[in-house]
Amino acid sequence: MKARIAIISDIHAPGSAENPELRGELAESLLLRAINRFNRWINPDIVIICGDLVDGGDTQTAKDWLPRIRAILDKLTCPYIAVRGNHDPSADYFYGVFEKKGQVDIAGFRFLVFDDPEQPNFCASRSPEEIGRFASARKDFEGPVISVQHVPLFPPGVSESPYNYTNADQIISEMKKHKIFMSVSGHYHKGLGHIHFEGINYIASPAICVLPFKYMVIDIDGEKVSAQTDNLQMPPELGLIDRHVHTQLAYCSENMDVASILKLYKDFGLADIIFTEHSGQLYFDKDSFWSGECYIKGLEGADENVNRMPRYFDLMKQFNVPKKSIGLEVDFDYSGRPMIRPVDKAQAGFFIGSIHKLQEMWKQPIDWKAVEEEYLFRTNGILKSGVAVLAHPFRMFHRKGTELSQDLFEKVIKLLKQYNIAAEINFHSQEAEPEFVEICVNEGVKLALSSDCHNMYELGELWPHLRMLEKIGVANNDLSRVLL
């Protein structure tokens, strides 16, 4: 019997001045980041939230935050269990926000969820009635049973955790009697990983609110248990640069904010970031940009009354952003001309080029040969303009749901080599193409890792990029060879 369980613990939203090392103020971004990974790539059967979703007990702040956390967790595409922790509001309020789930059956596994009373020194105890639930769970079920609680439950003396159950021996004796497979907990911020002792698996997940923002993924295959701890922060030692970061001036921004970006990018493990706002969105109004009208005449059709390019550079100046980190995502009109004025180009230090509309894709029926010809013509125009990076090379094809051929990959790579331009690996709203990336690596085309972030949780989220590179044989210690 197989299952994959993802665990998040100790969110502590929205943080507190008394414990600044607990980054509860990042709760929304951290949760959204984790959920995006779970939904798109990790695909757990169930997610367990092991308590302390908020910080403050029955304070109004904690009560206000709990529904916000619920709204984020509801974005999960798999079932989840929310455990009440000692910093969460009282049971009456907590279970008014989250459904009280005493027993959950998923993928052939039975999860028993406990909400036990707190004891001195942040420990807990379990009543005889609650301990009796192990026997009840076994009456009609022969599959694996997993005990879920906030405070770590381990055999005394087996772990370094200062927290445990005051009657752990009694609880574990009953667990052995009824062949309970696993115990899953949170609370101890360092976490304890996975301990197998006398036939039972014990898990204590680290706190997501403490750098480097950890979570766990447990894979179960029969009696075999594999427990992995991963970080939401990128490895700082890699010196990664996110070269595609949007601002609050983007029409597609959800909550981007330059001040917040500059404050947080190092917390997410980045060495640097480069702001790259859409030139088309700065020169044209929303309707002209989204409809594609702006690409017909290019800059000749720009209305100076809606020009926001000066606002962009003023924003950069306001926060003392160095020129090397002031970039533009340059749009190109249907004639292949860059939509950027020389006076504005002189104020930026980095340029990526992109295609957001193809005329041939708007025609019915679509002539895919004509689409490819237009795409290659426009791509050639981008690359010969002198940009450093070709942004999200095949996004328009992804959005139409069409298959991409190796022949097209090779034609684009030939152009990239001709002009010595890097290709962007981009997972925003699409899956990047491992076949294309592998050919780039083999042909010596440099790569740019980019989040293309439109929401703060995406800032520096280069985890899928690193996983893809690893799968095609590029280890972290070899990144300097392939990255721009």
pLDDT tens-digit map of 324-356: 999 999 999 999 999 999 999 999 999 999 999
Domain count, the chain: 2
Instruction: Find the mean pLDDT for residues 116-140.
Output: 97
Q: What pLDDT score does 402 carry?
A: 86
Show the tokens assigned to 182. Answer: 């696993």
Q: Which of 231, 246, 261 is the last residue of a domain?
A: 231
Tokens at 416, concatenated? 């990239």
* Spatial distance between the Cα atoms of 426 and 233, rounded to a whole number of angstroms: 18
214 with 300, same domain? no
pLDDT(413) > 90? yes
Q: Give the DSSP letter string of 369-423.
A: HHHHHHHHHHHHHHHHTT-SEE-STTHHHHHHT----HHHHHHHHHHHHHHT-EE
Sheet holding 389-390: strands in order across? Answer: 241-245, 272-278, 326-331, 350-354, 389-390, 422-426, 447-450
Residues 6+ apart with CB under 8 A from 162: 121, 122, 188
- Burial class for 343, CB neighbours closer than 10 Å (0-12, 13-18, 19+): exposed
pLDDT of residue 103: 97
User: Given CA atoms 453, 296, 382, 338 in this order, what sign does their dihedral have?
Assistant: negative
Tell me the CATH number at 390. 3.20.20.140
Give dist(CA 133, CA 135) in Å, integer.
5
Q: Return the structure tokens found at 219.
A: 């894979």
In terms of domains, do 223 and 286 share one? Answer: no
| 287 shares its domain with 347 | yes
Q: Is the pLDDT of residue 145 over 90?
A: yes
- Smallest Cα–Cα separation from 121: which of 159, 164, 160? 164
If asked whether residues 268 and 170 sit together in one domain, one would say no
421 falls in which pLDDT band (50, 70, 90)?
very high
Statement to judge: residues 272 and 226 lie in one domain: no
What whole-number distance in Å separates Cα of residue 447 and Cα of residue 450?
10
- Do 291 and 423 fall into the same domain? yes
Which pLDDT band holds residue 412 (cuts at 50, 70, 90)? very high
Which residues share a beta bridge with 465? Answer: none
Q: What confidence score (pLDDT) does residue 18 get?
A: 87
Q: What is the pLDDT of residue 429?
A: 85
- 59-69 pLDDT, tens digit per residue, is 999 999 999 99
Q: Are residues 178 and 279 in the same domain?
A: no
Asked if pLDDT for residue 25 goes beyond 90, the answer is yes
DSSP summary character for residue 17: T
| 187 token code pair | 């609370």
Cβ–Cβ under 8 Å, residues 85 and 98: no
End-to-end CA distance of the chain: 45
pLDDT-derived band at 444 (thresholds 50, 70, 90) equals: very high
> In 193-293, at which residue ranges do the beta strands (DSSP E only) sit?
193-197, 200-204, 214-221, 224-231, 241-245, 272-278
CATH number at residue 213: 3.60.21.10
Q: What's the average model confidence in pLDDT over 114-133?
A: 98
pLDDT of the residue at 16: 86
Which of 231, 253, 270 is the last residue before a domain boundary?
231
DSSP string, 320-375: T--GGGEEEEEEB-TTS-B---HHHHTT-SEEEEE----GGGGSSS--HHHHHHHH
> CA 340 to CA 309: how far, in whole Å?
10
Pairing state between β 123-124 and 118-119: antiparallel
User: Using CA of residue 363, residue 369, residue 370, residue 376, what is the dihedral sign?
Assistant: positive
Pairing of strands 109-113, 145-148: parallel
Residues 361, 378, single domain; the answer is: yes
- Alpha carbons 458 and 30: distance in angstroms, whole number: 10
Range of the domain at 138: 2-231
Beta partners for residue 241, in sequence order: 272
Q: Which of 352, 379, 385 is nearest to 276 (CA)?
A: 352
The 10 Å Cβ neighbour count of residue 20 is 10
pLDDT band at 399 (very low <50, low <70, confident <90, very high): confident
| Separation between Cα atoms, residue 65 and residue 13, nearest integer Å | 7
pLDDT tens string 255-311: 999 999 999 999 999 999 999 999 999 999 999 999 999 999 999 999 999 999 999
**In this structure, how many other beta carbons lie within 10 angstroms of the beta carbon of residue 79?**
15
Percent of the chain clearing pLDDT 70 (strictly above): 100
Same domain, 293 and 203: no
When pLDDT is cut at 50, 70 and 90, the band that residue 400 belongs to is: confident
Q: At which of 188, 209, 231 does a domain end?
A: 231
What tens digit of pLDDT does each residue of 220-246 get? 999 999 999 999 999 999 999 999 999
Pairwise CA distance, residues 483 & 469, whole Å = 11
Tell me, yes or no, whether 19 and 106 share the same domain: yes
| One domain for residues 146 and 257 | no
Q: How many CA atoms lie within 13 A of 52 on its CB side?
A: 28
Same domain, 284 and 366: yes
